[in-house]
């Protein structure tokens, strides 16, 4: 039997307890991933800007699953804050197996000619530059892992553009390109790099996009069954639990009632 095969079998048998670093864990997909991984007894580093939510979540996961959770409070747009937070991780948290680059947002929904420049900057700085800052800082810590893996949360918006999606779509096209580029550059380090690209999912995403207009947000999901955060957490869990020699490069997940951005089977 070849060494790689033997190693696979050993790792699979051990049902490894991994350390999982999740950005944007205060809501939506990131929070659902935290719950899923805590349930499966992994160690978690949860990050986000809303420290009150992080504390409540860590306590909740401890009570429910006895989960070992560290919380880090930073804005992914702040490159120094990202670097300092990760450099100053306690020694026992410096072996990271899985990075889930999830923090992100859409801000606004306007034709590009009417676009708000602050919105553009928020999306590019968070979805693209934030992902880069976190990845660069976490990379050396992944090298100590026996099963290093980066999962980028892209979007169907990174596959096809839609009306008024312009800059958000561009930022997610960038995530798609960066995922492919990372996979090539990190190949020789044995790091798996995957992208999960969801369609419409009911989280706080649309509340953020429409800046707290709850009616506009609810309207997005009217008349069909959107994805739920747990659906994406289940996919992330599956992608990160495959044998060492198997990588899912790209997983596009849509609600059954959505064919592509803008094409829905709505029962209104
Ligand atoms: P939510 O708004 O529910 O969650 C977004 C998370 O990102 C929050 O935890 C938020 O934390 C964090 N975040 C946002 N900006 C920053 C920042 N500057 N620094 C640190 N953390 C930040 O949305 P989703 O769960 O839906 O979104 C998660 C990812 O999935 C995003 O990348 C989004 O683009 C993508 N996506 C969403 C889809 C959907 O339809 N919902 C479909 C396809 C992809 P906090 O505010 O506390 O900092
Ligand atoms: C979020 C999904 O279709 O609103 O990335 O862009 S969509």
Environment class of 188 (CB within 10 Å of its CB; exposed 0-12, middle 13-18, buried 19+): exposed
- The residue with tokens 């990379």 is 139
Distance CA 76, CA 248 (A): 26
Per-residue pLDDT for 263 more than 50? yes
Ligand 1 centroid distance, CA of 245 (Å): 30
Average the pLDDT over 36-61 and give the result.
98
Average the pLDDT over 64-83 and give the result.
98
Confidence grade of residue 256 (pLDDT, cut at 50, 70, 90): very high
- Compute the mean pLDDT over every residue in the chain, rounded to the nearest whole number: 95
Ligand 1 centroid distance, CA of 24 (Å): 6
Atom of ligand 2 nearest to the CA of 157: 6
Cβ(198) – ligand 1 distance below 6 Å: yes
Find the domain containing 52 and state its range: 15-199+228-252
pLDDT score recorded for residue 4: 54
- Give the chain's domain count: 1
Report yes or no on 112 lying in a domain: yes
168 is catalytic: yes
Per-residue pLDDT for 1 more than 70? no
Number of continuous H segments (helices) and E segments (strands) in the chain: 10, 9
β partners of residue 260: 263
Cβ(157) – ligand 2 distance below 6 Å: yes
Ligand 1 centroid distance, CA of 7 (Å): 36
Question: 148: closest CA among 187, 184, 103?
Answer: 187
Environment class of 111 (CB within 10 Å of its CB; exposed 0-12, middle 13-18, buried 19+): exposed
Whole-prediction pTM: 0.95
Per-residue pLDDT for 13 more than 50? no
Report yes or no on 261 lying in a domain: no
Per-residue pLDDT for 12 more than 70? no
Report yes or no on 22 lying in a domain: yes
Element (H, E) at 18: none
Per-residue pLDDT for 261 more than 80? yes
Average the pLDDT over 180-206 and give the result.
98
Residue 14: half-sphere exposure toward Cβ, Cα within 13 Å? 14
Cβ(49) – ligand 1 distance below 6 Å: yes
Average the pLDDT over 81-90 and give the result.
98
Distance CA 55, CA 71 (A): 7
Report yes or no on 2 lying in a domain: no
Cβ(58)–Cβ(48) below 8 Å? no
Nearest CA to ligand 2 atom 4: 200
Confidence grade of residue 125 (pLDDT, cut at 50, 70, 90): very high
Q: Checking DSSP bridges between strand 263-264 and strand 258-260, what pairing results, if any?
A: antiparallel
Average the pLDDT over 218-224 and give the result.
98
φ, ψ dihedrals at 19, nearest 5°: -105, 120
Report yes or no on 88 lying in a domain: yes
Counting every residue, how long is the chain? 268
Report yes or no on 174 lying in a domain: yes
Nearest CA to ligand 1 atom 15: 104
Report yes or no on 90 lying in a domain: yes
Average the pLDDT over 235-262 and give the result.
98
In the chain, the N- to C-terminal Cα span, in Å, equals 59
Per-residue pLDDT for 34 more than 80? yes
Atom of ligand 2 nearest to the CA of 261: 3
Ligand that comes closest to the CA of residue 251:
1
Per-residue pLDDT for 10 more than 80? no
Question: 128: closest CA among 154, 148, 151?
Answer: 154
Atom of ligand 1 nearest to the CA of 201: 40
Ligand that comes closest to the CA of residue 154:
1
The rounded Cα 223 to chain-centroid distance in angstroms is 27
Average the pLDDT over 211-226 and give the result.
98
Report yes or no on 39 lying in a domain: yes
Percent of all residues in the chain with a pLDDT value above 90, rounded to a whole number: 94
* Strand runs labelled E in 32-144: 43-48, 69-73, 98-101
Confidence grade of residue 159 (pLDDT, cut at 50, 70, 90): very high
Ligand that comes closest to the CA of residue 153:
1
Q: Who contacts 231 (Cβ-Cβ below 8 Å, separation ≥6)?
A: 198, 201, 253
Distance CA 14, CA 228 (A): 31
Q: State the CATH number of the domain containing residue 89.
A: 3.40.50.720
Write out the two tokens for 255. 């609600």
């Amino acid at each position: 039997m070849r060494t790689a095969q033997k190693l696979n079998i050993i790792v699979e048998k051990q049902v490894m307890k991994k350390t999982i670093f999740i950005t944007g864990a205060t809501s939506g997909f990131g929070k659902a991933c935290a719950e899923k991984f805590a349930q499966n007894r992994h160690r978690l580093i949860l990050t986000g800007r809303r420290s009150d939510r992080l504390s409540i979540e860590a306590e909740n996961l401890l009570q429910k699953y006895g989960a070992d959770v560290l919380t880090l409070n930073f804005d992914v747009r702040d490159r120094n804050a990202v670097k300092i937070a990760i450099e100053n991780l306690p020694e026992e948290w410096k072996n990271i197996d899985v990075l889930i680059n999830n923090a992100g947002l859409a801000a606004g929904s306007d034709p590009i000619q009417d676009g708000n420049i602050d919105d553009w900057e928020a999306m590019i700085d968070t979805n693209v530059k934030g992902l880069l800052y976190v990845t660069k800082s976490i990379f050396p810590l992944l090298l100590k892992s026996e099963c290093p893996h980066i999962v980028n949360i892209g979007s169907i918006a990174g596959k096809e553009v839609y009306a008024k999606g312009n800059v958000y779509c561009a930022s997610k096209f960038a995530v798609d390109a960066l995922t492919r580029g990372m996979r090539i550059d990190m190949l020789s380090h044995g790091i798996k790099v995957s992208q999960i690209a969801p369609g419409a999912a009911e989280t706080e995403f649309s509340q953020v996009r429409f800046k707290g207009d709850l009616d506009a947000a609810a309207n997005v999901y009217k008349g069909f069954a959107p994805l739920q955060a747990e659906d994406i957490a289940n996919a992330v869990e599956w992608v990160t639990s495959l044998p060492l020699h198997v990588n899912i490069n790209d997983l596009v997940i849509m609600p059954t009632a959505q064919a592509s951005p803008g094409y829905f089977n709505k029962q209104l």
